[in-house]
Structure 1
Amino acid sequence: MKKWKTILVGSAVASATLLSLAACGGGTGESSEKKDDGSISLMAPDMTDVHPKREDLWMWDEYEKISGVKVNWEEVKDWGDKKQLIISKKTLPDAFYNLGFSNEELVKYGEQGLFIPLEDLIKEHAPNLVKLMEEDPTIEKAITSPDGHIYSLPYTCSDPMGGGRAFKMYFNKAWLEKLGLEAPTNTTELEEVLEAFVTKDPNGNGKADEQGYYMDSGQFGPLELMVKSAFGLNSAGRTAMENNYYLDENGELQFVFSSDNMKEVWKYEANLYKKGLIAKTAFAGVDYDKWVADASKDTVGMFSWVGRDFIGAEAMNNYVPTTILNGPDGTGGTLVTQSSVMGTSSFTITKDAADPAKLIEWVDYFYGPEGTELGFFGKEGETYEVKENGDKVYVDKILNYAKGSQLGAFQFVDNVYGGFYPYNEPTEREKEIAYGRTPEEYTDAPLENLPEVVLPTFMSTSEESAELSTITTDMNKYIEQARVQFVTGKWDIDEKWDEYLAQLKNIGLDKWVEIRQAQYARYMEE
């Protein structure tokens, strides 16, 4: 199923003042019109096309029994289009649940008093989250804004392979077996395997219909992340690469797309493209449904994603993973995984919350083991059974759901589809077993090949955000153009490289690096 799925500081006095303001409307001169009947009001995304209303969902009925707190849910379709209108309303819900705000928006609305600081509330009322932050200090760093406040709670996963954190490459195992090949471990082997896939008729139909690397158009990024890692650019993890920074050999933050290593990445990809090992539709021409249909016809040799199920239920078991892609000398690759904080805006309490402490206590349950179990698995005997070996497996009514076990579970529990929930994810192995699948096996020791540092998305000050906005938009647009031109061979990379770098500087590269280096230094402060 295709679903698209970053040091506690602060004054107790200031927080107390803001909480007092929040209880009476937050200093806007407007009083709340909501009645305090002991319930809480949460705004959440409307997913009723695949999911019951939350007020009717088994999980929330069960949690009301556990917590004694009734939730008044308001579900919103087209959140991105309606966000600004909703946030400007006179009265806000008590909290936004599983609705996305960027780091810049969290800082902006926090400074405006629309979102309240949470750090003192967390200390006093969120023991499960406090324990997670003590075990992994990067969680607290990632959700703390430049002003020292925490304005929203995270979506976390302690498993580097879980929660959609780690990209992998998937290879057609029947083709590998027929050709007597192993899944590649470095860029040289990758080229050799893809060349065999497209030239030796591994599907045996006598037609030259096999594709090497092939996905729906516009999904070139995952492959490039793997190749970047092979060429030494995964020194700070997947999120850093996706935000265009890495750490050089001196530990200094630098821009990915101006590095000499990036030049080598694009040279390598251009060679694969020229030889027909990357599908000619990599940048345009094929939608997701056609790609899945082609996979069912056994024409897809390799793809890259966080999980094999992306290619569809019919074909997913035909592929084996490579998690570490090394460079041509057989070294240097590391796991392309994210920070344990995969989202920073999963639960945001507003100025109109009558009882912020109750809200924090209510949501903190899901950062502990009992809440993880309820949110993903449900309850033993009702939504899952425990096997003799201790594995939790969904009951038959979920496993046999017509649209698959994941959507089957989504009819009962909330935290199984779409992501960015305020809770701590179970391990990937536990999730696969729950869905009735055999967990993936890795032969290249991904957990022994982690990046030395895994950085989140940095929090920007309002000033930094304003400066970065235009620079980043313009640079990303130019880089996307350059990628297509370099990889498809329309631009000669040796001839055009200096001109390309000059254009990045004209757009504002030096200022971008200056701001990002300052953010990294701030993040690293104790």
Structure 2
Amino acid sequence: MAADEKAEASPMVGPTVAPEPGQGSSRRQFVTRAVGVGLTATAAGPMLAACSSGGDGGSKDAAVKDPLAAKGGPKTTPNSDVIYPDGYVGPRASKKALLVKEKVTLRVVVPQNVSVGDWAKNDFSKWYEKNTNVSIKWQVVAGGDDAMTKVNAMIASGDVPDVFMNINFTNAQQLLYGSQGLFVPLNKLIDEYTVETKRIFKDYPDAKNLLTATDGNIYSMPYVNDCFHCNCGNQRMWIYKPWLEKLGMEMPQSLEEFEAVLKAFKDRDPNGNGKRDEVPLMSSKDDALDTFFMSSFMYNPGEPWLVLNNGKVDVTFNKPEWREGLRYMNKLYKQGLLARQSFTQEGDQLRRVGDHKGDPILGATRTWYWGSFATLNDDDPKARWRDYVAVPTLKGPDGKRFATWNYYGAVTGGAFVVTKACKNPAVAVQWADGQYELEAIMRSYSGDLDKGWRWAKKGEVGINGKQAVWTTLGTWPPPDGQWWGQLGLGYRSNDYRLGELADPKNPTFEKPLYEESKEAYYSYKVDKETQLPPLYLDEEQAAQTGELSLTLANYVKQSLSKFVLGQWDVDDDTAWKNYLTTVERMGTSQFVDINQKAYEAKYK
């Protein structure tokens, strides 16, 4: 597998980030989608009024009226061609009967995607129709943040499809539109008509609860991507190992040791060209520094900086430990060890530094993975990126480390909702359910069997050292039009991902990324109880937090750069007090209180 990484390409539309405000979503995504870009019950009146007239909308116990779908799902026979390692948890390959005897057509809204191309002519689309007997009338909307604008217009006009797929409906929107009758509760449909979704709920015991809104309903089919290395991706720091070896230095384990290494990179000419052209540490504006450095002082999951302390929601950016992290980063900057451009430059500018022709000049960088700062060439065993290794979470002044770990990133919702316009909701749910079957996953991800991928042979070893399950063939990704570009639904469990063949003759970055993440961060990960789980905000809460989080995020990031770059003196108590007063005046207490109430409504 190759490049589903910097952003671990989400099935959702828009920036590839975690889907909920509690999990580090981008501020633009959060505020523009919190309640459907301001679409309220009044604006959506025509459709919602029509939906409400059905009588059963909003009830998880509503009777399912879909005589075309077979209860229990289609007949399913295991595929004996596939070998699984002992203890394997994840999708299984099977042969399934057609979902319906007579072809059924569903109208499905999807985002435009270059990799998919024409949804109707796409190779996987045609294969899946042949194997389900469900024809899709695709309605394509613009990708990115503009998709929700189009979707809102559709809802307001009453012209909604049977299904929205890969439109990133937040938990707040699911609750809003579900309670108003637009989205169909899926609880009973899943219980009575699915095979693979129930497997997911068994394999991931938290999944059902995470997908259940505060009204007791499930409004979205799950998307599972249990990516081990993604759980710590927003804090990874990389360092050029050959320079450490040349200078006779060990991997730094503490803040003091890291500072000493950067000084040596600056002063001791580690690239040996006689020039002082080394850049000790550099990042880009999209790769936050606080997620790494604050972890030596406190647990800091990153924007919007929400955490749990003994069941109480709190923020990290107004704590004394945050100030200590700012002090340390300012100390690096004042010594010329941290590049000023880190706060303003784009990723492609950073990659030009990482790809510097001739002698390497980049010593360390805070990015998601190697492809964020260098050309990722899997075919070259001597490619420069292979010499960068992960710096572990550094010990702080008291010897502690607080590595972030996303415990709730494996299972997300919002990618597949069924509307009240759908006459065959059980067929729609079964059509979604079939996408969790292993061969369907492989075809949607890597193209045709024995062309883009194959099943692993007995004795072939996966990334985790166990029996492999599958391997890609040739260069991934497949050509446009042959796969779904990581859209649709999926069940990529941790065992599935680590079941990719680790071919020593054709190494990809998946195995070292797994190994680096495990060695550098897994041992230091914080307890699950400190991470704020996904929340279901009601309409008013979502509107309020959307505005607050945007305001606070802008100011916190701006202030961080000013303190680090010395424009504000982090050692000046008056400057620090002014900062604290400003973030409080901007609504920190209100922001925390709203999230506390939403947390208690869901989890208490």
Relative to the length of structure 1, the TM-score reads 0.83
Distance 1:323 1:421 in 2: 35
Secondary structure, aligned partner of 2:117:
coil
Match of 1:502 among 561, 565, 581: 581
Post-superposition offset of 1:292: 1.4
Deviation digits for residues 245-293 of structure 1, max 9, x if unmatched? Answer: 1233x44321111122212222222212222222111122x33323212
1:257 matched to 2:323: no
Distance 1:375 1:186 in 2: 44
Question: Structure 1 residues 107 and 341, CA, compared in 2 at 3 Å: closer, same or farther?
Answer: farther
Asked if structure 2 preserves the Cα contact closer than 8 Å seen for 1:43 and 1:73, the reply is yes
Question: Structure 1 residues 136 and 243, CA, compared in 2 at 3 Å: closer, same or farther?
Answer: farther
Post-superposition offset of 1:153: 2.6
Match of 2:229 among 147, 158, 161: 161
Question: Structure 1 residues 69 and 433, CA, compared in 2 at 3 Å: closer, same or farther?
Answer: farther
Post-superposition offset of 1:423: 1.7
**2:442 — aligned with what?**
373
Deviation digits for residues 147-205 of structure 1, max 9, x if unmatched? Answer: 22222233322343258866422212222222223333333332222222222222222
Distance 1:324 1:13 in 2: 46
Question: Structure 1 residues 201 and 342, CA, compared in 2 at 3 Å: closer, same or farther?
Answer: farther
Post-superposition offset of 1:415: 4.9
Match of 2:491 among 424, 431, 435: 424
1:303 matched to 2:390: no
Post-superposition offset of 1:12: 9.8
**2:330 — aligned with what?**
270
**2:208 — aligned with what?**
140
Distance 1:430 1:162 in 2: 16
Distance 2:215 2:281 in 1: 45
Asked if structure 1 preserves the Cα contact closer than 8 Å seen for 2:296 and 2:394, the reply is yes
Distance 1:133 1:73 in 2: 29
Asked if structure 1 preserves the Cα contact closer than 8 Å seen for 2:238 and 2:365, the reply is yes
Equivalent position amino acid for 1:14 in 2 = S
**1:437 — aligned with what?**
508
Post-superposition offset of 1:114: 2.2
Asked if structure 2 preserves the Cα contact closer than 8 Å seen for 1:104 and 1:465, the reply is yes
Distance 1:432 1:521 in 2: 44
Distance 2:222 2:431 in 1: 15
**2:340 — aligned with what?**
280
Post-superposition offset of 1:490: 1.2
Post-superposition offset of 1:437: 0.7
Match of 2:601 among 501, 522, 525: 522
Secondary structure, aligned partner of 1:413:
coil
Post-superposition offset of 1:37: 5.8
Question: Structure 1 residues 327 and 342, CA, compared in 2 at 3 Å: closer, same or farther?
Answer: farther
1:58 matched to 2:123: yes
Relative to the length of structure 2, the TM-score reads 0.73
Match of 1:346 among 415, 435, 439: 415
Asked if structure 2 preserves the Cα contact closer than 8 Å seen for 1:15 and 1:120, the reply is yes
Asked if structure 2 preserves the Cα contact closer than 8 Å seen for 1:18 and 1:117, the reply is no
**1:292 — aligned with what?**
351
Equivalent position amino acid for 1:289 in 2 = D
Asked if structure 1 preserves the Cα contact closer than 8 Å seen for 2:283 and 2:367, the reply is no
Distance 1:190 1:209 in 2: 19
Asked if structure 2 preserves the Cα contact closer than 8 Å seen for 1:233 and 1:261, the reply is no
Post-superposition offset of 1:54: 2.6
Deviation digits for residues 19-58 of structure 1, max 9, x if unmatched? Answer: 779x9xxxxxxxxxxxx9602222212112x443232322
Question: Structure 1 residues 189 and 164, CA, compared in 2 at 3 Å: closer, same or farther?
Answer: closer
Gaps of 5+ in 1: 24-35, 400-404
Distance 2:428 2:250 in 1: 52
Post-superposition offset of 1:436: 4.8
Distance 2:188 2:223 in 1: 19
Is 99-108 or 273-282 further displaced after alignment?
99-108
Match of 2:141 among 44, 69, 76: 76
Secondary structure, aligned partner of 1:254:
strand
Asked if structure 1 preserves the Cα contact closer than 8 Å seen for 2:221 and 2:416, the reply is yes
Distance 2:314 2:308 in 1: 6
Question: Structure 1 residues 53 and 13, CA, compared in 2 at 3 Å: closer, same or farther?
Answer: closer
Question: Structure 1 residues 323 and 155, CA, compared in 2 at 3 Å: closer, same or farther?
Answer: farther
Distance 1:342 1:477 in 2: 29
Equivalent position amino acid for 1:423 in 2 = G
Question: Structure 1 residues 253 and 63, CA, compared in 2 at 3 Å: closer, same or farther?
Answer: same
**2:527 — aligned with what?**
452
Gaps of 5+ in 2: 8-14, 21-55, 69-101, 378-383, 461-466
Match of 2:293 among 213, 227, 237: 227
Identical amino acids, percent of aligned pairs? 25
Secondary structure, aligned partner of 1:183:
coil
Match of 1:384 among 453, 472, 489: 453
Distance 2:579 2:234 in 1: 31
Q: How many residues align?
A: 487
Equivalent position amino acid for 2:371 in 1 = D
Asked if structure 1 preserves the Cα contact closer than 8 Å seen for 2:121 and 2:481, the reply is no
1:120 matched to 2:188: yes
Secondary structure, aligned partner of 1:70:
strand
Post-superposition offset of 1:338: 4.9
Equivalent position amino acid for 1:244 in 2 = W
Deviation digits for residues 189-240 of structure 1, max 9, x if unmatched? Answer: 3222222222222222222222122233x1241x321223222214xxx4xx
Distance 1:164 1:423 in 2: 21
Distance 2:266 2:154 in 1: 52
Secondary structure, aligned partner of 2:160:
coil
Match of 2:483 among 398, 402, 413: 413
